[in-house]
Structure 1
Amino acid sequence: MLKRFIFTLVLISATLGPIPEAHAVNPWAAIIKAAIKKVVKAVDLMIQRRQNKVIKLQNAQKALENTMAKLKLEQIADWVKKQRDLYRKYYEELKKVKAVISYYFRIKEIAQKEAMIVEQYQKAWSLFQNDKHFTASELLYMQKVYTGIMEETTKNVDLLTLVVKSFTTQMSDVKRLEIIDQAAKQVDKVYDELSTFNNENKRLSLSRAKDEFDAKVVKELYGIE
């Protein structure tokens, strides 16, 4: 019991200990999170509006089908011919709206992954700063790496913001898709780099454990199996 109690105290101390001011969490994190929230909120609003339009178009389509069902077989061909141009725009618009909604959902997925990057960075960095297995120079190096990651994340959020705004401008679908693909590739790259960097640091800390008890603390701290 005593050993377990000591272990718990060590773990709590490592997790909640004071963060040295020299290695304070990058203030960009809060700014980036706020920007991501704005992107997601804007996208959610656009999705809602487009989905309402889909419902409206689908209702128009259903009305058309109901009308056709009431006509006699010999009347259908003549009626459809007369109404084709009138209802063609509904079908074309429905197709366009559904395509735009797919753009929105992809933008939202990218934004959510950006948020995951910021959260993983904050969690790992706060733990590393209180890990006695790292030297001051190593923490300084980590801080520089994380600063670079946050800079890249900011650029990616800017791309997403540009895409959201593009739906109210004359930007072509081709250009819009190009930007979305660029943002997706960049966020995947940053996410993978951050995960690799965090895992390397966790393993390094574990390799420097002085004894079995110290190793157990590190494993519990970082969730290492």
Structure 2
Amino acid sequence: MNKVMKVKMMLILVGICLTIHMPKGYSQSTEIAQLLLNVAKWEALQENLKTLKKGYEVLTKGYKAVKDISEGNFNLHDAFLGNLWQVSPTVKNYKKVSEIIQTEIRIIKEYKSGFQQCLKSGQFSANELDYLERVFKRVTDESVENLDELLMIITARQMRMNDEDRLNAIDAISVDMESKLSFVRRFNASNQTLLFQRIKQHSDLELQKRLEGFPE
């Protein structure tokens, strides 16, 4: 027997006792009705409390579910961003990585070769040599910056990028490095042309001087 039934039985017994022992003139039916009404109110209160409890449990479970989902999404998001710090073998083994390094080596080698040729020729003034050196230095400084960026792209925990972005960035560096190498070659070719012209002019002048020194 549950608590509600026990209370009902107790109130019925109380009502019977009141009916037997209550003095005449007292409204027995009214008292019993009031007691039964109180039982009904108590039952209703119990049901309300149960409903509130169920509602709280549903709310709690719902909040927990939302919280778990939210944390789950955050964990997935965090894991995704964490993966962006990593560098896949596809990026590390991309052929243009080694090509960029080889291009840098050619830039330095051809720059030094061209500058040394102008320096040893004796056909360029100090100001001209200073200008050539500054131009070469600017190009090599920019190419070194490209290598620094490349190193960051292919090194884990340096840049947050997916594979496609990393490969696109490497492609852009490759294009820029090839452009710099082409510039160094054109610049060297231009200086070499000027050098040959001056050597020829000097040779022609020396020949003219010798011819002018011969007796008629």
TM-score by length of 2: 0.48
Q: Which has the higher contact order (CA 8 A, sep 6+)?
A: 1
Larger radius of gyration between Structure 1 and Structure 2: 2
